[in-house]
Amino acid sequence: MMKYSNTQLSWLVILRIAIGWHFLYEGMVKLMNPNWSSVGFLLDSNGLLKSFFYSLASDSSLVYIIDMINIWGLILIGLGLILGFLARPACIFGIILLSMYYLSHPPFPGLRYAVPSEGSYLIINKTLIELLALVMLFVFPNSRFIGVDRFIFKK
């Protein structure tokens, strides 16, 4: 198993908590808003996978499932990261969700979106950076040192 200095470990855990906090809040906001639906976001898709995301939006029962996956996925991933509880699976599911968000709205030249973006992006955006940060957390696991996983994955 990897060995970290205290400084390295602290900053890895802080990064994990920050991403977890963000996921948890995004999930809670959607949970508490009865009007929230993924449809608007899906229908704003562009790029190579546009038709795939459009087809998801066209079926209302499918939209319901996607909404539930988003809401509870975000909340559970957020809790997992903050508590360090099954943090590595949480990283994987987080990467999958973020890659969906990224691929539906890739900031490539020539693609435009109705969703206003708060910054300036070319190919790399904050979604992708958050995704890469989760990859780093996966590659440098830390919940077995600091987190509930300490009890689950005993040496």
Partner 1 sequence: MKRRDLLKGFVTVPVLGAFAYAWYKKRSYERYLKKNILEEIQLKATAPDIPASGPMDKQIRLGLIGYGLRGKHLAQAAGFAHPELIDSWIKNGFENGSDNRYKEYLEQEDLNLVLNGVCDIFDTYGRMAREAGANIYREGSGGKMGPSPKRYKNYQDLINAKDIDAVIIATPDHWHGPMAIAAANAGKHVYVEKPMTWSVEETYKIRKAVKENNIVFQLGHQGRQTESYFKAKEAIDKGLLGKITLIEVTTNRNDPNGAWVYPIHEDANPNTIDWKQFIGQAPDHPFSLERFFRWRCWWDYSTGLSGDLLTHEFDAINQILGLGIPHAAISSGGIYYFKDGRTVPDVLHTVYEYPDRDLSMVYSATLASNRKRGRVIMGHDASMELGRDLIIKADPRSSRYEAKIKEGIIDPALPLFSYSPGMQNVDAITSPTEQYFAGRGLLYTYRGGKRFDPTHLHIKEWLNCIRNGGTTSCNIKQGFEEAMAAHMGTIAYKENRKVFWDAENEKII
- Site map 69..108 versus partner 1, x via CB under 8 A: ----------x--xxx------------------------
Q: Rank residues 82 and 131 by Cβ distance to partner 1 and give the closer one.
A: 82
Q: Which stretch binds partner 1 (CB under 8 A): 88-96, 100-108, 112-120, 121-129?
A: 112-120
Find the helix packing angle between 87-104 and 60-83, rounded to 10°: 140
Neighbouring residues of 27: CB distance < 8 A, sequence distance ≥ 6: 70, 71, 72, 73, 74, 75, 76, 77, 78
Distance, C-alpha 19 to centroid of its chain: 8
For partner 1, the binding residue among 1, 115, 122, 139 (CB under 8 A) is 115
Closest C-alpha among 9, 8, 7, 5 to residue 150: 9
Residues within the interface to partner 1 (CB under 8 A): 13, 17, 20-21, 24-25, 28, 32, 34-35, 37, 39-40, 43-44, 51, 54-55, 57-58, 60, 63, 79, 82-84, 114-116, 145-148, 150-151
